[in-house]
Structure 1
Amino acid sequence: MNSTERYSDYEHLAFHRDGHVLTVELNRPDDYNAIHIPLHSELARVFAEIRKDDEVRAVVLTGRGKAFSAGGNVLKGPRPGAGPVLDAFFKDARKIITDLLEVPQPVIAAINGPAVGLGATLALLCDITLMSRTAVISDPHVTVGVVAGDGGLIAWPWLVGMARAKEYLLTGDKLGAAEAERIGLVNRVVEPEQLLDEAQALAARLAGGTVRAIQGTKQALNRIWLDTAHLTLDAALATEKECFASGDHQRAVDVFRAAHAEAKAAKAAKALTEATA
């Protein structure tokens, strides 16, 4: 199977090959590449497909449009309730993380805009992360009533240390690109108009290198993250699942929606006042 056939049935991911470099875009730009259930399902199979693709020697992962990914869309949903749909969702959640960590080819993240929640996790579990100077990153699971169980707890402590990981995962605070680079969360900051070119150039460099040595080194290093995943991921996903099934997440989303609606109404009222003044 060639690469064109392999990736032909994806609706919410877009693919472009240049030589041995495969660029994968999260492709829901009108919704800031928010990860709804269909995209979540596609992510649960794409990394296993890439792993089997001998024509691909390096990957660039990015988002189409203004965002890398806004994570789960708490305003639009849908959110699976307790039952088979929720069970399948969390089975896929585990597969996304472990499959990404088991991809032998080096994966370069090009963080072109906001990377939030699972979007941040996907970027940070890549091998090298380039971040637009204007982008922001955060893992605000706790602010919508769920455990940060989808892989952020694997990436953040290894990248920035346990103290900083706890600060950002327990508060959900966002970081700008300069601060993310300063604390070692991402590799380097790039001007927005240069981001994709630099990511693809780096991927091409790796794709043109000694394949067995590069992939073997990556896989050896990723054993550390896989061991962490095996240690923590199941327990974290189980408690995150409880947050969905118990209604904790829904109650937090209702509060978030109410605050969003209030802020929107206040903004509209202010605009009307200024227009009639």
Structure 2
Amino acid sequence: MNGIARYSSYEYLTFHRDGHVLTVEFNRPDEYNAIHIPMHSELARVFAEIRRDDDVRAVVLTGRGKAFSAGGNVLKGPRPTAGPALDAFFKDARKIVTDLLEVPQPVIAAINGPAVGLGATLALLCDITLMSRTAIISDPHVTVGVVAGDGGLIAWPWLIGMARAKEYLLTGDKLTAVEAERIGLVNRVVEPEQLLEEAGTLAARLAGGTVRAVQGTKQALNRIWLDTANLTLDAALATEKECFASGDHALAVDAFRKAHAEAKAAKAVAEASA
């Protein structure tokens, strides 16, 4: 099956093809493209689908609306707990990371807004990252009581070194686009209105190259990250899974929700009395 028709079964990812360039958008704009369980399941199959699509020679990954992706759906929706549902969730989590790393076509992340948690991981595991000047990026897994096990442990140390990776993964602190570029976390900072055009132009350039040379170079480089995944990913996901099963994550999320509600109420009172 050729063209966009092969991607017609996806609900939370949208697709646009321009020649040999495929643009994939996270499509939950009203929720800042937060990754709930159905979207997580779609991500667990989309990269293998792209890998089989010989008409695609480069990919742009971005988010619809104001965000790239706010990561896991912390404030809304059910959370998987111990049992078959949690087991399936973490099998998909591993598959998402390894499938993305095994996509032979070059993948460009166009980080159009906040890239948080798994959203940050997906962006940083791409081959080239362009980031809107107004975007932020962070991996705050620890702030919601879980290990940064979904692939962040692969990307951050290789991109910015172990010392900086530990600082940002242990604190969950946010980085601006300018700071992310300065320390080497992303490739370029781009003005918001130029982001998709620049990403598309770069993708078209890569798609127009010699397929075997471009894809072979990428795949050889990604062996380094795949070796790192084989070293760290299973252990990281196992300890992250324990955080879900033990209730640590649920307690942290409840505290996060309470703080969020209190901040929202305080803002409403301040606005009413202004």
TM-score by length of 1: 0.98
Equivalent residue, structure 1, for 2:81? 81
Aligned-partner SS, 2:108: strand
Is 1:239 the equivalent of 2:239?
yes
Matches within 5 A, 1:32-51: 32-51=32-51
Equivalent residue, structure 2, for 1:161? 161
Aligned-partner SS, 1:130: strand
Distance 1:55 1:273 in 2: 59
* Alpha-carbon distance, 1:270 to partner: 1.3
* Alpha-carbon distance, 1:261 to partner: 1.1
Q: Identical aligned pairs, as a percentage? A: 88
Equivalent residue, structure 2, for 1:224? 224
Query: Partner letter of residue 43 of structure 1?
Result: L
Equivalent residue, structure 2, for 1:252? 252
Query: Partner letter of residue 236 of structure 2?
Result: A
Which runs of structure 1 show a deviation greater than 3 angstroms over 4 or more consecutive aligned residues?
Answer: none
Equivalent residue, structure 1, for 2:109? 109
Distance 2:16 2:202 in 1: 16
Query: Partner letter of residue 237 of structure 1?
Result: L
5+ residue gaps, structure 2: none
Distance 2:190 2:5 in 1: 33
- Once the two structures are superposed, what CA deviation does each residue of 1:74-97 show, in whole Å capped at 9, x if it has no partner? 111321011111000000000000
Equivalent residue, structure 2, for 1:92? 92
Is 1:215 the equivalent of 2:246?
no
Query: Partner letter of residue 57 of structure 2?
Result: R
5+ residue gaps, structure 1: none
Query: Partner letter of residue 117 of structure 2?
Result: G
Equivalent residue, structure 1, for 2:189? 189
Distance 2:201 2:165 in 1: 31
Aligned-partner SS, 1:227: helix
Distance 1:265 1:75 in 2: 16
Q: Is the 8 A contact 2:4 2:16 kept in 1?
A: no
How well do the aligned residues superpose, as a CA RMSD in angstroms?
0.6
Distance 1:225 1:57 in 2: 21
* Alpha-carbon distance, 1:231 to partner: 0.3
* Alpha-carbon distance, 1:54 to partner: 0.2
Distance 1:189 1:226 in 2: 27
* Alpha-carbon distance, 1:267 to partner: 1.1
Q: How many equivalent pairs are there?
A: 274
Q: Which stretch shows the higher mean deviation, 15-24 or 4-13?
A: 4-13
Distance 1:5 1:206 in 2: 24
* Alpha-carbon distance, 1:5 to partner: 2.4
Distance 1:93 1:139 in 2: 16
Distance 1:245 1:130 in 2: 36
* Alpha-carbon distance, 1:3 to partner: 2.5
Equivalent residue, structure 1, for 2:65? 65
TM-score by length of 2: 0.99
Is 1:11 the equivalent of 2:35?
no
Distance 2:19 2:265 in 1: 51
Q: Is the 8 A contact 2:29 2:65 kept in 1?
A: yes
Query: Partner letter of residue 109 of structure 1?
Result: A
* Alpha-carbon distance, 1:73 to partner: 2.0
Distance 2:109 2:267 in 1: 35
